Amino acid sequence: MELCDLQSLGDKYPFHKFTIVIDFKEFVPEEIISWRGSYDTPAILYSKEGECTGEDFSRIISNGIYRPISGYKGGEYTFFPDHVPYLTPCDSANNYYQITAFCVSEDEVTLLTEEVTY
């Protein structure tokens, strides 16, 4: 899913809890960073702690587009709404997951992921 799709999802469900599921484990989105696998590609940094509402998630995406973000080893990169982000648990990880679908319940949006080939 592109950054613009993810931001729209947050806008549509501002009061829902947002979680990312990777290998059957739940995580919380934190911010957009430069992905270590290719610095000019966005990544959603996630953790096991905290909570994120749709409003928070939309703000995370908004803060990660149209603004220069420093790459892991330097350089400035700007991400745009049509970029597809990877997911990463820290700024030095090099994993290959992307959000490919979502499920909506009464009070939660679950972002589903797939391992992808880079």
What CA–CA distance (Å, rounded) separates 91 from 9?
25
What CA–CA distance (Å, rounded) separates 104 from 40?
31
CA proximity to 85, closest of 108, 107, 69: 69
How confident is the model at residue 63, as a pLDDT?
A: 96
Contact 41, 51 (CB under 8 A): no
Contact 95, 89 (CB under 8 A): yes
pLDDT by residue for the chain (118 residues), tens digit each?
A: 999 999 999 999 999 999 999 989 999 999 999 887 788 889 999 999 999 999 999 999 999 999 999 887 788 999 999 999 999 887 556 568 999 999 999 999 999 999 887 6
Alpha carbons within 13 angstroms on the beta-carbon side of residue 92 total 0
Predicted TM-score (pTM) of this structure = 0.91
Tokens describing residue 115: 């391992």
CA distances from 38 to 30, 74, 75, 105, 112 (A): 20, 12, 12, 34, 22
Amino acid at 54: G
In this structure, is the dihedral angle defined by the CA atoms of residues 80, 84, 89 and 91, taken in order, positive or negative? negative
